C-alpha cells in the first residue's frame, strides 16, 4: 500500500513551484479548501507529509464507526432481549475485522481523495513535509513552493498528558488501538469523552475487560448530567468498570502488565493494572515545527492557530482551518472552515464568515449521545432564565416495542417564550435524531412548535415531541399520539 501510495502521489504533481494557493495538510479541511480553490479557477498545491485523508478517514470517524457497528452486532448475540429464540456467538477473528476495516479505508481513500484529484486537474498533491519560510513561501525538501495565499490545515493528534512514567510504558492512542490485530484481555482507558467512551464500549463488547478512569466527577463531563449519569449506568450494566474523580499520577510496567497509580477522592491512592493502556485524554493541534511561529502567525497557549471568523490569521495572506484552529474538532466543521478560508483567500478577504453558532455533534456509544445548542448551566451563565423538560425513553412507544428503553432526552427553553435553546439526546440513533433539533433551533422554534409537529408513529423521533409536551403537561400520562 505504501509503495502504491508513493507512486500515485507523484502522478498529481508535475514539479511546478508557483501556485495561486498552497494548502498545508491533507485531511478534510485541506481538501475542502483545495476543491473550493479549484472551483474558483486557482492553481492549488496540497502538501501533506503523511497519508492522504487525515484523521477522520484513517484514524477516526470511518474506522471507529465501522468497528463499533461490528461490536454492536457481536454484543447483540449475547444481549438479545427477545424471548422465543436465542443467538449464538461464533469465534471472534479480530484480525479479520481489522483487515475489513483497512479495506474500507482504502476504498474511501480512493473514492473520496485520489479520485477527486483526477477530476480537479489544477490541484497538485505533494507528499512532502512543509515548513514555512515566509508568508508566501514554504520549503519541501530542497525545493521551495510559492503562492500569494496559504492555508494551514495540519489537523491534530492525541494529547499525551504529563504523567510520571507514561513515556516508559507501551500505551496506546486511538491510532494504535485501531490497528491491533489481537485483542488484549484487559484495558485501562484514560479519559471519558467521545474517543474514550466509544473505544471503551467497543473493546468491552469484543470481550476485553475495560476500566475507564476519568479525572472529572462523571463520564462525558461536558454533557448534560442527566444524560451522563444514564450512560454511566448502561456502561456499568455491560460490565465496564468506571472510576470517576480518578487522577492518574504514575504509571509503570511490570511482567507484561501496565500498572497505574491513581489519586482518588479524600486523597486515597489506589493501583490498577491491565494488559493494555489506552490514552484518550483529548487532542492537540499539529502546529509545532511548521515554522509558522517564526514568521509571526499567532498561536494560543495550547498551540491552536488564532483566526478571526473569516479564518484569517495574524499574518496577511495566511489562513487556517480545521482541527489546528478549533474550537470544534469535527470533520464537517473542518470542511466548512476550509471552504470559507479558500473562498476568502481567493475571492478577496473577507466576504464570508464561518457559521459556528449551532454545531450538532454525537458521541457514538450505544445508546448514542447527541447535542446541539446550549447546556443548562451554559444558558444560566449567560444570564438566561430557562425551563427544562427531561424524558426517559421508557415513555416513547417505539423504544418500548423495540425492547430497548435505554435513553433520555433533555430540552432547554427560554422561560416565558419557551424558545428552544438546547436539545440533548441519549438514545439509539441519536446522531440522526439531532438534525430535527438542529433545524428547530436554527429557525427559532419553541417547545410548543415541537409539541404540535406531527411525527410518524411509532418512531424514536417522537421522543422530541413527547419531551416538548412535558413543558405543558405530564407527558408520562398521555395516550399514544395525543397532543
Question: What gap in Å lies between CA 24 and CA 45, rounded to an integer?
Answer: 8
What is the C-alpha to C-alpha distance for residues 278 and 152, in angstroms, rounded to an integer? 29
Establish if 482 belongs to a structural domain.
Answer: no
Are residues 172 and 195 in contact, defined by beta-carbon separation less than 8 angstroms? no
CATH of residue 443: 3.30.390.30
Q: What is the CATH number of the domain that holds 136?
A: 3.50.50.60
The answer to the question of residue 15 being in a domain is: yes
171 close to 274: Cβ distance less than 8 angstroms: no
Query: Could you tell me if 229 and 248 lie in one domain?
Result: yes
In this structure, are residues 297 and 136 in contact, taking their beta carbons and an 8 Å threshold? Answer: no
pTM of the full structure: 0.94
Q: What is the Cα Rg of the chain in Å?
A: 24
For 2, counting Cβ atoms within 10 Å of its Cβ (0-12 exposed, 13-18 middle, 19+ buried), the class is exposed
Cell numbers at 418, concatenated: 419557551
Do 77 and 95 reside in the same domain of the chain? yes
Decide if pLDDT at 353 tops 50.
yes
Q: pLDDT tens digits for 150-207?
A: 999 999 999 999 999 999 999 999 999 999 999 999 999 999 999 999 999 999 999 9
Per-residue pLDDT tens for 95-149? Answer: 999 999 999 999 999 999 999 899 999 999 999 999 999 999 999 999 999 999 9
Q: Is residue 353 part of a domain?
A: no
The grid coordinates listed for 433 are 435524531
Boundary of a domain, candidates 281, 298, 322: 281
pLDDT of residue 475: 85
CA dist 145 → 19, 42, 198, 297, 319 (Å): 8, 15, 41, 19, 17
Say whether pLDDT at 2 is over 70.
no
135 shares its domain with 174: no
What does 110-137 look like in DSSP terms, one character per residue? IIIIIHHHHH-TTEEEE-S-EEEEETTE
Residues 439-477: tens digit of each pLDDT: 999 999 999 999 999 999 999 999 999 999 999 999 888
At residue 252 the predicted structure's pLDDT band, cuts being 50, 70 and 90, is: very high
Share of the chain above pLDDT 90, in %: 88
Assess whether pLDDT exceeds 80 at residue 14: yes
Average pLDDT score over residue span 215-233: 97
CB 363 within 8 A of CB 220: yes
Domain that residue 180 falls in: 166-281
Task: Considering only the C-alpha atoms of the chain, give the largest distance between any 2 of them, rounded to a whole number of Å.
Answer: 74
Q: What DSSP designation does 475 have?
A: G
- Out of 292, 324, 347, pick the residue that ends a domain: 347
Distance (Å) of CA 359 to CA 171, 246, 405: 32, 30, 27
- Whether residue 117 is found in the same domain as residue 174: no
Alpha helix stretches (DSSP H) within 28-93: 28-39, 54-59, 61-76
- 410 within a domain of the structure (yes/no): yes
Last residue of a domain, one of 281, 307, 336: 281
Residue 455 within a domain: yes
Same-domain pairing of 131 and 264? no
pLDDT tens, residue by residue, 396-407 = 999 999 999 999
Q: What is the pLDDT of residue 469?
A: 97
The pLDDT score that the predictor gives to residue 7 is 43
- Predicted confidence at residue 378, as pLDDT, reads 97
What's the burial of 419, exposed, middle or buried (CB within 10 Å: 0-12/13-18/19+)?
A: middle
Extended strands (E) in 364-405: 368-373, 386-392
Nearest to 378 by CA among 224, 239, 243: 224
Residues 6+ apart with CB under 8 A from 428: 366, 367, 368, 399, 402, 404, 406, 407, 460
Count how many domains the chain has.
3
Does a structural domain hold residue 355? Answer: no
> Residue 105 belongs to what H/E stretch?
helix 94-109
Listing DSSP states for 390-401 in one string gives EEEGGGSHHHHH
At residue 3, the pLDDT reads 40
Does residue 362 surpass a pLDDT of 90?
yes
Q: Give tens-digit pLDDT for 286-334.
A: 999 999 999 999 999 999 999 999 999 999 999 999 999 989 999 999 9
Residue 352 lies in a domain: no
- Find all residues with CB under 8 Å of 91, minimum gap 6, and list them: none
Is residue 11 scored above 70 in pLDDT?
no
Answer yes or no: do 183 and 71 share one domain. Answer: no
Distance CA 247, CA 212 (A): 12
Q: CA–CA separation, 292 vs 135, rounded Å?
A: 9
Task: Check whether residue 189 and residue 294 sit in a common domain.
Answer: no
Mean pLDDT of the chain: 94
Look at residue 356 and tell me if it is in a domain. Answer: no
Q: What is the CB-side half-sphere exposure of residue 222 using CA atoms within 13 A?
A: 15
60-97 pLDDT, tens digit each: 999 999 999 999 999 999 899 999 998 888 889 999 99
* Residue 52 and residue 147 in one domain: yes
**Residues pairing with 242 in the sheet:** 212
**Residue 432: which pLDDT band, with cuts at 50, 70 and 90?**
very high
Same domain, 309 and 296: yes
Angle at the Cα of 354 from the Cα atoms of 348 and 357, rounded to 5 degrees: 155
Work out the pLDDT band at 1, boundaries 50, 70, 90.
very low
Higher pLDDT, 37 or 4: 37
**In terms of domains, do 34 and 141 share one?**
yes
What is the band of 480 on the pLDDT scale with cuts at 50, 70, 90?
confident
**13 and 136, same domain (yes or no):** yes
Retrieve residue 8's grid coordinates: 500515485
Residues 303 and 239 occupy one common structural domain: no
Amino acid at each position: 500500500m505504501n509503495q502504491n501510495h508513493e507512486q500515485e502521489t507523484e502522478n498529481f504533481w508535475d514539479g511546478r513551484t508557483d501556485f495561486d494557493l498552497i494548502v498545508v495538510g491533507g485531511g478534510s479541511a485541506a481538501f475542502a479548501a483545495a476543491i473550493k480553490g479549484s472551483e474558483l479557477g486557482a492553481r492549488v498545491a496540497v502538501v501533506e507529509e503523511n497519508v492522504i485523508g487525515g484523521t477522520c478517514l484513517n484514524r477516526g470517524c470511518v474506522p471507529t464507526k465501522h468497528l463499533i457497528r461490528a461490536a454492536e452486532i457481536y454484543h447483540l448475540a449475547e444481549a438479545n432481549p427477545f424471548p422465543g429464540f436465542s443467538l449464538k456467538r461464533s469465534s471472534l477473528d479480530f484480525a479479520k475485522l481489522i483487515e475489513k476495516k483497512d479495506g474500507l479505508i482504502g476504498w474511501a481513500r480512493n473514492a473520496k481523495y485520489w479520485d477527486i484529484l483526477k477530476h480537479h486537474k489544477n490541484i497538485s498533491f505533494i507528499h512532502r513535509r512543509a515548513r514555512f519560510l515566509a508568508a508566501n513561501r514554504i520549503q519541501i525538501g530542497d525545493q521551495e513552493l510559492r503562492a500569494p495565499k496559504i492555508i494551514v490545515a495540519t489537523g491534530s493528534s492525541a494529547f499525551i498528558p504529563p504523567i510520571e512514567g507514561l513515556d516508559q510504558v507501551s500505551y496506546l492512542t486511538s491510532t494504535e488501538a485501531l490497528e491491533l490485530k489481537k485483542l488484549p484481555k484487559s484495558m485501562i482507558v484514560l479519559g471519558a469523552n467521545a474517543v474514550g467512551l466509544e473505544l471503551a464500549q467497543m473493546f468491552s463488547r469484543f470481550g476485553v475487560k475495560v476500566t475507564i478512569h476519568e479525572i472529572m466527577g462523571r463520564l462525558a463531563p461536558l454533557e448534560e448530567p442527566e444524560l451522563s449519569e444514564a450512560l454511566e449506568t448502561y456502561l456499568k450494566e455491560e460490565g465496564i468498570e468506571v472510576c470517576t474523580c480518578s487522577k492518574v499520577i504514575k504509571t509503570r510496567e511490570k511482567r507484561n502488565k501496565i500498572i497505574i497509580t491513581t489519586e482518588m477522592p479524600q486523597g486515597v491512592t489506589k493501583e490498577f493494572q491491565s494488559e493494555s493502556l489506552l490514552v484518550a485524554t483529548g487532542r492537540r493541534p499539529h502546529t509545532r515545527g511548521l515554522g509558522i511561529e517564526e514568521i509571526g502567525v499567532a498561536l494560543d497557549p495550547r498551540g491552536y492557530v488564532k483566526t478571526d471568523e473569516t479564518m484569517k490569521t495574524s499574518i496577511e495572506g495566511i489562513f487556517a482551518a480545521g482541527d489546528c484552529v478549533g474550537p470544534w474538532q469535527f470533520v464537517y466543521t473542518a470542511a466548512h472552515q476550509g471552504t470559507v478560508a479558500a473562498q476568502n483567500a481567493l475571492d478577496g478577504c473577507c466576504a464570508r464568515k464561518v457559521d459556528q453558532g449551532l454545531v450538532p455533534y454525537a458521541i457514538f456509544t450505544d445508546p448514542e449521545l447527541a447535542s446541539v445548542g446550549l447546556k443548562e448551566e451554559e444558558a444560566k451563565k449567560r444570564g438566561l432564565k430557562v425551563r427544562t423538560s427531561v424524558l426517559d425513553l421508557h415513555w416513547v412507544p417505539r423504544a418500548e416495542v423495540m425492547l430497548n428503553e435505554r435513553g433520555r432526552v433533555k430540552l432547554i427553553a427560554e422561560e416565558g417564550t419557551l424558545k428552544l435553546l438546547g436539545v440533548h439526546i441519549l438514545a439509539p440513533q441519536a446522531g440522526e435524531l439531532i438534525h430535527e433539533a438542529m433545524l428547530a433551533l436554527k429557525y427559532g422554534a419553541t417547545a410548543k412548535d415541537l409539541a404540535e409537529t406531527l411525527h410518524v408513529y411509532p418512531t424514536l423521533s417522537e421522543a422530541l415531541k413527547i419531551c416538548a409536551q412535558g413543558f405543558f403537561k405530564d407527558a408520562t400520562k398521555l395516550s399514544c399520539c395525543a397532543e
